[in-house]
Amino acid sequence: MTLDLPLARRDLIAARLAAGQAVVAATLAAEFDVSEDAIRRDLRALAAEGRCRRVYGGALPISPGTASMAARMDEGRERKRGLARAGAATVAPGEFVFLDSSSTNLALVEFLPEECDLTVATNAVDIAAAVLRRQDLRLIVVGGTADPLVGGCVDGAALQTLERMRIDRAFVGACAVSVEWGLSAFHFTDATFKRALVAGSRCTVALATAEKFDATAPHRVAALHRIETLILEAGTDPSRLAACTDAGCRDVRVAEPVP
């Protein structure tokens, strides 16, 4: 099989990955009658777009637990902005706010109130860059080895820095939410960091898109009674809202869409 157009070849490879198939560079090179270097360039480009995960000899399809921060940022952008605006409304002047690594928390930066003497700390590279562009916010970056899947630092160095902070309001990223298990995360180190964040914060807030209730993540972060404010999307089933309240979450809110 010969394809003269690299973009057409790349689209075919992307379609297989989207269908859940792993791909092998040597096999693709033989199939498309091109060099393995050409296939590796295709896979690097697809990985940069967040459409696959590179492994030795080929690439794997993206699953919810392996999607990078870069891939998640454009998913449901307007819905996340609605949650972010509602979350930002909970912030009080002078607070020390922590934004955990999360594509929804990234949207929060736009809506944080101006001229309120806010200090924002984050372990997320993209969030730090967005806060830095807001010249009215003080920024503290929690460093360490950046995990490309988490989108930030969750190693031992990051934990040590976090433990020395006295946080007023923490926005905790949620990979999955359930009434029975509360907030959960896909990665062990990320869950460990999030648990420390919940434990070390005076107030915790979680913003959850509807699909988070359909997701399953293996590492438990916190029961709902540990979350002071849970903000869900407009149109959420009222029975789900009631169930979250019954589970102990003190403040369950519904976010209106951003016009």
**What was the pLDDT predicted at 66?**
54
The C-alpha atoms of residue 130 and residue 111 are separated, in whole angstroms, by: 12
pLDDT in tens, 48-82: 876 777 888 888 776 655 555 555 666 667 888 99
**What was the pLDDT predicted at 65?**
53
**What was the pLDDT predicted at 229?**
94
**What was the pLDDT predicted at 76?**
67
Element holding 17 (H helix, E strand): helix 6-18
**What was the pLDDT predicted at 83?**
93
Q: What is the pTM of this model?
A: 0.76
Average pLDDT, the chain: 88
**What was the pLDDT predicted at 206?**
95
pLDDT in tens, 107-138: 999 999 998 999 999 999 999 999 999 989 99
pLDDT in tens, 150-189: 889 999 999 999 999 999 999 999 888 999 999 999 889 9
Q: Which region, left, alpha or beta, applies to residue 218 given φ > 0 means left and ψ of -120 to 50 means alpha? A: alpha
Domains parsed from the chain with CATH numbers = 6-62 (1.10.10.10), 72-255 (3.40.50.1360)
pLDDT band at 15 (very low <50, low <70, confident <90, very high): confident
pLDDT band at 5 (very low <50, low <70, confident <90, very high): confident
Residue 34 has pLDDT above 60, yes or no: yes
CB 25 within 8 A of CB 36: yes
The C-alpha atoms of residue 76 and residue 78 are separated, in whole angstroms, by: 6
pLDDT in tens, 196-248: 999 999 999 999 988 888 778 889 999 999 999 999 988 888 888 899 999 88
**What was the pLDDT predicted at 210?**
85
**What was the pLDDT predicted at 133?**
94
Q: Taking residues 73-96, report their average pLDDT.
A: 87
Residue 192 has pLDDT above 90, yes or no: yes
The C-alpha atoms of residue 105 and residue 199 are separated, in whole angstroms, by: 19
| DSSP letters spanning 69-118 | HHHHTTTTHHHHHHHHHHHHTTPPTT-EEEE-S-HHHHHHHHHSPSSS--
**What was the pLDDT predicted at 71?**
58
